[in-house]
Chain A
Amino acid sequence: MSHENCSHCLPTPLSRMEFLRLTGLSLGSLALGTMLPEVFGATGPVAAPGQPALNLLPRQPPLPARAKHVIHIFAGGAPSHLDTFDAKPAMGALGGKTANGLSGVIWPSPFKFEACGRGGVQISEIFPHLQTVADEMCVVRSMHAEIPAHGPAAKLLHTGSAILTKPCLGSWVLYGLGTESADLPGFISLGGPPEARQAAFLPGIYQGAQTNFNANAPVKKVLPNLTSEFSSAGEQRAQLDLVHALDEQHQKEVQSDSQLEARIGSFELAFRMQTAATDAFDITKETAATRSAYGPGDVAARLLCARRLVERGVRFVQVDAGGWDHHTNLVTSIRRTAAAVDQPAAALIADLKTRGLLDETLIIWGGEFGRTVNTAGGITANSGRDHWSNAFCCWLAGGGVRGGQMHGETDDLGREVVKDGVHIHDLHATILRLLGFDHTKLTYRYNGRDFRLTDNYGQIVSSIIA
């Protein structure tokens, strides 16, 4: 049933309540399209003409979309592009040498790179599993930004602004597209800094729901107030039935307001969320085969959970997979950090593909900047790399991304972008385009100005798009 018709299918809110009781249907058994307007307000106000309505109804983006869901894997700490996806074979000869303007010595990556898949995507040996799904991946080797400091750079990556408090990518996406999940929040954060889920000046409905999710956390505590420590489901059901009946009486007197109806719906949704969310976050319900495909650890649990959420219509899942700040002991540490995400990320891609969800699910992996080609002192077992924001990398997969390719190039030392640079604003513009938006037109009026994710910047990188 299409939601455009929902306001006509039943004459008044009141009779809808009666209808539900008469037919013995629970609200949950109604089709999504008829349910959501009731829950979220069919006639949400708009901030300014031409902007999306302030509700969570699923809606078509203005342009043809390739992706419907996003899983953003934030590799916080800034992964070394030189040891992950930006192979620099020519650098080998310069190992241990000094260079003008560089302190310490040049340190070629100690890892072997493999040209993987039909596209020959260069992937470091620290990602043996990702090497097998290279044909799904578009590796961007020409990312660049201005700020080599974690805090502001991460903020820039998540919100498009390093300084001001702006809405994050996920909030913009939810604002633009609404959600398809009737009983889960549309934007869920599985760890990460606050700016990775903040709605800032967008209405609170677009904020990423904070969770306490990890491999062994109790499912009932994943969301605050998710379950009651005082009353049973049966008691709550009886409570809600009573309240709905009382609210009907109240409605008769007040005679108004879609908000009142929406609030009734929100209690039903909350009631169902208790079971829906505990189910969605319960990865022990996966088969042993699936669980072992993702492997052990928290990142694996998060990515598996992300798949379960996307499957249930959640629009945007933010996943924390950090620990990349390898100033020292890079060789041993980066192997460990990479291993935590390698198998589960590859499994996620394969899993989504098997389930037919990869085409509509955009996966993004990347950190806030890259790392230096030089290492302080000489090359030792303890060597590490420092912060570097002029060049770094990320990868995208699924959701309309042209896989099996590498985009952009850096110079022979991996220091500067020399071809097809992609600023974070450009990445944002491209992500929004994949979701069906012109990034210059997805705006929100606040304090007298139309704001957008990309501010005054951003170019769509069309070659990333299939």
Chain B
Amino acid sequence: MKQLIPLLICVPLGLCAATPDPAGTDFFEKNIRPLLTQKCYECHSGSPATSKGGLLLDTNAGVLAGGDDGPVIVPGKPDASMVIRALGYQDESLQMPPKSAGGRLTDAQISLVRQWIAMGAPDPRDGAAHRLSGLTAEARAHWSFQPVVKPPLPEVRDRSWCLTPVDFFVLAKLESNGLRPSPPADPEVLLRRMYYDMLGLPPTLEEINAFAHDYDLALRTENYAIAEGKVPYGEGRKGFYPARRVVLEKWIDQLLASPHYGERWGRHWLDTARYADTTGTNNQNGRNRFEGPRYEYAWTYRDYVVDALNQDKPYNQFVVEQLAADQLPNLKPQDGRLAALGFLTVGKHFDNPNDLIDERIDTTAKAFLGLTVSCARCHDHKFDPIPTADYYSWHGIFNSVEEPIVRPELKLDAPAAAQADYRKRLADLEVANRKVYYDEAATLYTQMLAEPRLVEHGYIVAFGGQSTEAFAARKKYGLEVEKNNANAMIANANNHPVFGPYNVLARLFHDQPNDFARLAPAALKAALARPRVRTNPIIARELAALAPATLDEVGVAYAQLFARGQKDFAAYLAARRDSRPLAVAPARPPDDATQELFNALWPIPDGREIATAEQQMAYFTKVQMPNNVANLFVFDKINELRLTHPGAPGCAMVVTDLPTPKNSPVFIRGDPAKRGPVEPRHFLTLLSSGPPAPFTDGSGRSDLARLIASPDNPLTARVEVNRVWQGHFGEGFVRTPDDLGNMSEPPSNQELLDFLSVWFVENGWSLKKLHKLILLSNAYQQSSNPALNPLVAEGAAMTTDPRVLDPDNRMLWRAPVRRLDFESIRDSLILLTGKMDSTIGGKPVNITDEPYSYRRSIYGYIDRAQLSDLLTQFDFPPPDNANSRRISTIVPQQALFFLNGALTVDVARHLVARPEVGPYLSDNDRLAAIYRILFQRKPTAAETKLALDFLGQAALLVPKPDPAAARPTPRRAAGPGAADGTMMMSMVANGRAGGVRNTGAAVPRTPLTPWELLTQALLFSNEFVYVN
């Protein structure tokens, strides 16, 4: 069919190209299409309105139809084809591609085109195909781009089922599709579901018992009311207040008040915000060469997120802070909200600044708007109404920010002693860095003076000059000065107190080389005697008696002077290091002249200028320290100290606006070398009424944030509500939470999504209220067991069986069965070891390796360059893009983690050792105790029998304890923390990209007892890792 279309089009024109045979197609694909793409499409593709000369070369039909000047090819007749004349540059007026677009093709390329036409111009391209473009009315009409309108509650047949507005929408959907909801889940199941949803941790048996009692009672009360024909919230005597609500509210409020809520939902947001603790490359791709691939402070952003959720910070505010916290009106010193800017800065780093900008555009658009704006980097978005110009309007915004080297320090709740210890260790390292610098400076100075060419004229001056030689010399000795200073030096060359006289003579030599000998002595005298120009007294003295015949002689005089000064260099260096004026001899007054001399030749920084690690990084980066010296600095150790020392404060990974924000030009096809028109910084056209107004406030970040967080934005609330729904039902209304554009599926229940979105905004963008509304619904409380759905239970026919009608449960005729995500699995295990460290926030720990950390998984150190295999195996999403939805796969490596990893052994040992599982109990009671802890229920009789049989079997298998055979464990972890007793972790391998290593002991490698084997086996069970 594809080949027929061009045929039908071109037959009437009598210009039919040969129906492409495979060889012709191959020739076209190999030789002609690349040429067309690279050389012609820029002007001759797209719509007839915008193509040059009315010629479209991106379809076969276009090629055959030709342009304003008529047909461009005659198939089979290259010499009769206009294109060959154009390509050959035969006419002055018709030269293609034009010189501005790369100029004439090579002869080889032209001969390929010739050959192709001679073959009959075979062209497999579908003539009817149009270029994909999202800039269409149809794409703009997409549902999610339309204003959110709160729909009225729909009519339902069974009003008694509807406890909340959510239920009306769910039920209406079910009823209109011939489906029915499932009955409420058992309270044990429901509470476990709520705990994992809200906290990522299981409830205790006591909690379950208390809840089940109340919930069952409430359910019975409701059922009486319903049996009497009443409906929840019905008018007057027809209505009743749902008793379950009273019970649930209490429990939901408790869950929402738990600080673990912020950890659970914070982790979801961190998936969206592509959080990681490294830049993603092992090269020196930090912002300067001394900043390694480890982020020292990414965790402050993580903690901000956890805290924001725990505080129930309104979502619109949450948005604004993450994009523009630095521009909040009422910022306090050490304001914790600054850490929100980590949203922009904890992403992957790139060599190319445009890639970094793209990364920020991409994450911002996906996270807050559910839009793939970065698709428009090289071309207009193919599916959504996002022109390339809009992309570059955002490019300007993110190109107008920078990350300052000195970051705002945040408040730290650490013991004063720890903080003092950190300050001391840091100061020691900073001193070590300064020592490296000043020691090396002394060595280099000596080397420099020993340079054989030093005495040659020009070379000395080269240190202050702009010649190639000057740059080379400065680079060699790490003397690169700030560009501005260098320029100032050049501008004032003749007035420079040290080099001024030389420069005057150099100018003379340049202007009048032949008369130099005659004019120089007087010129020198005049230069030294200039009334308003101060000359360094030592220079003045040295040159006073000089009557140079050549410029060389001047150079030599300078060189000798510097060489004589060598003896004072050590004193100069010490003075600079110790931040005091230079006194060449102890008893003598400060020697400003000598100091000025050294400063001119080699400006050694004052110790105060390179006191802090940040100053050192900035200065040593600026002066381009040679590699062998740079490698001596201890920035790695500083990085490690900051990431691991309990007394180290956090800093906010902020961005600040450049003093003069700038608009970006459109990069044609994403190529920075091909500049299109400059695009003002503004919001997306799609989401603006009329042409978007240019941003004027700094980079425009705060304007951008305000417009994203606006209640009128049709996407922001919908996108977040969709994610929250996903967190409770396994899938969102739209199953691509970071893309609600034209490429996404229609929402499974748009009325409900819209209702909730409006409700969310009306309720102050409160996420906690939204959670509560959802959890109170009958829809949420359903059983997940399909067999309990009334239609299934009643033996529905295939045509009405919900398992057939809605196999993916998109309409929610039951609750989903979900496997716990990695964090919930690991956190449950950690909880069960009895050693869980419930501290909220702080520096990252190692969550994958022994010695184990007993902190929650959200505090794990994430290296995006080498994502831990364990995380990958458990479907942790790559933190390079917003990934708000996790897939759930099953691979044997997950099973190996349970079977052979030490963590499940740790759990089993601990559980069996707990007092309530004590050996004084009967086997049945012991088993019951273990079940209570693991599954929050009693074992059934069948389960008890299986377990007891297992114990009997295991008793025969387990070897008798043999002290000699026990492996020599526990191993102690090495590292500073373990040695000196502080709780300081260390970095593995102390490499630039090494991960975190915890302190503590490894799990002892001794055999398990039968009870331990049993308990470990229970951890393998599906019940442990699935939520019903």
Query: What is the CB-to-nearest-CB distance from A258 to chain B, in angstroms, rounded to a whole number?
Result: 10
Whether the Cβ atoms of B893 and A185 lie closer than 8 Å is yes
What 0/1 pattern do residues 804 to 818 of B give for CB contact below 8 A with A? 000000000000010
What 0/1 pattern do residues 68 to 89 of A give for CB contact below 8 A with B? 0000000000000000000000
* Segment at the B interface, from A109-117, A226-234, A297-305, A341-349: A226-234
Whether the Cβ atoms of B889 and A238 lie closer than 8 Å is no
Whether the Cβ atoms of A253 and B901 lie closer than 8 Å is no
Query: Please, how many angstroms separate the alpha-carbon atoms of A242 and B1011 in the complex?
Result: 13
Give the nearest-CB partner of B905 in chain A: A230
Q: 19 A-B contacts, Cβ less than 8 Å apart?
A: A185-B892, A198-B867, A201-B878, A207-B872, A209-B869, A226-B900, A228-B899, A246-B943, A247-B1023, A250-B1022, A259-B817, A260-B817, A260-B1026, A266-B894, A266-B895, A270-B895, A270-B896, A271-B899, A447-B739
Whether the Cβ atoms of B1005 and A163 lie closer than 8 Å is no
What 0/1 pattern do residues 848 to 889 of B give for CB contact below 8 A with A? 000000000000000001110110111110101111000111
Q: Any chain A CB within 8 A of the CB of B630?
A: no
Give the nearest-CB partner of A269 in chain B: B892
Query: Please, how many angstroms separate the alpha-carbon atoms of A257 and B785 in the complex?
Result: 10
Query: Please, how many angstroms separate the alpha-carbon atoms of A249 and B872 in the complex?
Result: 30
Whether the Cβ atoms of A242 and B947 lie closer than 8 Å is yes
Q: A228-B900, A255-B786 are in contact. List 5 more A-B contacts (CB 8 A).
A: A201-B883, A209-B893, A246-B1018, A254-B785, A259-B817
Please, which residues of chain B bring their CB within 8 A of the CB of A267?
892, 895, 898-899, 1020
Whether the Cβ atoms of A449 and B743 lie closer than 8 Å is yes
Residues 36 to 51 of chain A near chain B (Cβ within 8 Å) = 39-41
Whether the Cβ atoms of B739 and A270 lie closer than 8 Å is no
Q: Any chain A CB within 8 A of the CB of B529?
A: no
Please, which residues of chain B bring their CB within 8 A of the CB of A239?
899, 950, 1013-1014, 1016-1017, 1020
Whether the Cβ atoms of B1017 and A243 lie closer than 8 Å is yes
Give the nearest-CB partner of B864 in chain A: A165
User: Given A245-B946, A449-B372 in contact, is the A238-B350 Cβ separation under 8 Å?
Assistant: no
Q: Any chain B CB within 8 A of the CB of A196?
A: no
Residues 916 to 948 of chain B near chain A (Cβ within 8 Å) = 940, 942-943, 946-947
Whether the Cβ atoms of A263 and B1023 lie closer than 8 Å is no
Q: Any chain B CB within 8 A of the CB of A130?
A: no
Q: Any chain B CB within 8 A of the CB of A354?
A: no
Residues 239 to 297 of chain A near chain B (Cβ within 8 Å) = 239-240, 242-243, 245-247, 249-251, 253-257, 259-260, 262-264, 266-267, 269-271, 273-274
What 0/1 pattern do residues 153 to 189 of B give for CB contact below 8 A with A? 0000000000000000000000000000000000000
Q: Any chain B CB within 8 A of the CB of A350?
A: no
Q: Any chain A CB within 8 A of the CB of B800?
A: no
Q: Any chain B CB within 8 A of the CB of A448?
A: yes
Query: Please, how many angstroms separate the alpha-carbon atoms of A203 and B877 in the complex?
Result: 8
Query: What is the CB-to-nearest-CB distance from B743 to chain A, in angstroms, rounded to a whole number?
Result: 4
Query: What is the CB-to-nearest-CB distance from A344 to chain B, in angstroms, rounded to a whole number?
Result: 27
**Cβ-defined partner of A204 (8 Å) among B872, B942, B958:** B872
Q: Any chain A CB within 8 A of the CB of B799?
A: no
Query: Please, how many angstroms separate the alpha-carbon atoms of A200 and B893 in the complex?
Result: 18
Residues 15 to 35 of chain B near chain A (Cβ within 8 Å) = 26, 29-30
Whether the Cβ atoms of A448 and B383 lie closer than 8 Å is yes
Whether the Cβ atoms of A253 and B893 lie closer than 8 Å is no
Taking Cβ atoms with an 8 Å cutoff, the residues of B that contact A are: 26, 29-30, 280-281, 283, 348, 350, 352, 355, 366, 372, 375, 383, 736, 738-739, 741, 743-744, 784-787, 817, 819, 865-867, 869-870, 872-876, 878, 880-883, 887-902, 905, 940, 942-943, 946-947, 950, 953-954, 957-958, 967, 1005-1008, 1013-1014, 1016-1018, 1020-1023, 1025-1026, 1028
Query: Please, how many angstroms separate the alpha-carbon atoms of A270 and B893 in the complex?
Result: 7
Work out how many contacts link A and B, with CB atoms closer than 8 A: 208
User: Given A250-B1022, A459-B29 in contact, is the A41-B890 Cβ separation under 8 Å?
Assistant: yes
Please, which residues of chain A bring their CB within 8 A of the CB of B744?
448
Please, which residues of chain A bring their CB within 8 A of the CB of B867?
194, 198
Give the nearest-CB partner of A273 in chain B: B892
Whether the Cβ atoms of B891 and A204 lie closer than 8 Å is yes
Whether the Cβ atoms of B943 and A204 lie closer than 8 Å is no
Q: Any chain B CB within 8 A of the CB of A319?
A: no
Residues 159 to 208 of chain A near chain B (Cβ within 8 Å) = 163-165, 183, 185, 194, 198-201, 203-205, 207
Query: Please, how many angstroms separate the alpha-carbon atoms of A384 and B866 in the complex?
Result: 32
Give the nearest-CB partner of B954 in chain A: A238
Query: Please, how many angstroms separate the alpha-carbon atoms of A243 and B741 in the complex?
Result: 45
User: Given A235-B954, A247-B1022, A448-B383 in contact, is the A200-B892 Cβ separation under 8 Å?
Assistant: no
Q: Any chain B CB within 8 A of the CB of A236?
A: yes
Please, which residues of chain B bring their CB within 8 A of the CB of A238?
950, 953-954, 957, 1013
Whether the Cβ atoms of A235 and B893 lie closer than 8 Å is no
User: Given A247-B1022, A270-B893 in contact, is the A447-B899 Cβ separation under 8 Å?
Assistant: no
Whether the Cβ atoms of A225 and B901 lie closer than 8 Å is yes
Q: Any chain B CB within 8 A of the CB of A54?
A: yes
Whether the Cβ atoms of B817 and A254 lie closer than 8 Å is yes
Whether the Cβ atoms of A151 and B283 lie closer than 8 Å is yes
Please, which residues of chain A bring their CB within 8 A of the CB of B1013?
231, 235, 238-239
Please, which residues of chain B bring their CB within 8 A of the CB of A253?
785
Whether the Cβ atoms of B1007 and A254 lie closer than 8 Å is no
Query: Please, how many angstroms separate the alpha-carbon atoms of A267 and B896 in the complex?
Result: 8
Taking Cβ atoms with an 8 Å cutoff, the residues of A that contact B are: 39-41, 54, 56, 151, 163-165, 183, 185, 194, 198-201, 203-205, 207, 209-210, 223-232, 234-236, 238-240, 242-243, 245-247, 249-251, 253-257, 259-260, 262-264, 266-267, 269-271, 273-274, 447-449, 459, 462
User: Given A230-B1007, A257-B817 in contact, is the A203-B889 Cβ separation under 8 Å?
Assistant: yes
Whether the Cβ atoms of A259 and B819 lie closer than 8 Å is yes
Query: What is the CB-to-nearest-CB distance from B867 to chain A, in angstroms, rounded to a whole number?
Result: 8
Give the nearest-CB partner of B898 in chain A: A267
Give the nearest-CB partner of A459 in chain B: B30
Whether the Cβ atoms of A230 and B738 lie closer than 8 Å is no
**Cβ-defined partner of B958 (8 Å) among A39, A235, A263, A448:** A235
**Cβ-defined partner of A201 (8 Å) among B743, B786, B881, B897:** B881
Query: Please, how many angstroms separate the alpha-carbon atoms of A198 and B866 in the complex?
Result: 9
User: Given A151-B283, A242-B946, A449-B375 in contact, is the A273-B896 Cβ separation under 8 Å?
Assistant: yes
Query: What is the CB-to-nearest-CB distance from B893 to chain A, in angstroms, rounded to a whole number?
Result: 7
**Cβ-defined partner of A165 (8 Å) among B348, B947, B950, B1016:** B348
User: Given A243-B1017, A253-B785, A448-B741 in contact, is the A204-B892 Cβ separation under 8 Å?
Assistant: no
Please, which residues of chain B bring their CB within 8 A of the CB of A230?
900, 902, 905, 1005-1008
Please, which residues of chain B bring their CB within 8 A of the CB of A266?
890-892, 894-895
Whether the Cβ atoms of B872 and A199 lie closer than 8 Å is yes
**Cβ-defined partner of B890 (8 Å) among A185, A251, A263:** A263
Give the nearest-CB partner of B904 in chain A: A230
Query: Please, how many angstroms separate the alpha-carbon atoms of A163 and B348 in the complex?
Result: 11
Query: Please, how many angstroms separate the alpha-carbon atoms of A199 and B375 in the complex?
Result: 21
Whether the Cβ atoms of B892 and A236 lie closer than 8 Å is no
Query: Please, how many angstroms separate the alpha-carbon atoms of A185 and B872 in the complex?
Result: 14
**Cβ-defined partner of B738 (8 Å) among A151, A245, A447:** A447
**Cβ-defined partner of A270 (8 Å) among B741, B887, B899:** B899
Please, which residues of chain A bring their CB within 8 A of the CB of B875?
203-204
Query: What is the CB-to-nearest-CB distance from A53 to chain B, in angstroms, rounded to a whole number?
Result: 12
Whether the Cβ atoms of B896 and A235 lie closer than 8 Å is no
Query: What is the CB-to-nearest-CB distance from B932 to chain A, in angstroms, rounded to a whole number?
Result: 16
Query: What is the CB-to-nearest-CB distance from A451 to chain B, in angstroms, rounded to a whole number?
Result: 11
Give the nearest-CB partner of A251 in chain B: B1022
Query: What is the CB-to-nearest-CB distance from A173 to chain B, in angstroms, rounded to a whole number?
Result: 17
Query: What is the CB-to-nearest-CB distance from B887 to chain A, in angstroms, rounded to a whole number?
Result: 5
Please, which residues of chain B bring their CB within 8 A of the CB of A164?
880
Query: Please, how many angstroms separate the alpha-carbon atoms of A274 and B893 in the complex?
Result: 11
Query: Please, how many angstroms separate the alpha-carbon atoms of A251 and B787 in the complex?
Result: 12
Give the nearest-CB partner of A164 in chain B: B880
Whether the Cβ atoms of A203 and B887 lie closer than 8 Å is yes
Query: Please, how many angstroms separate the alpha-carbon atoms of A236 and B905 in the complex?
Result: 12
Please, which residues of chain A bring their CB within 8 A of the CB of B889?
54, 203-205
**Cβ-defined partner of A448 (8 Å) among B348, B375, B899, B1026:** B375
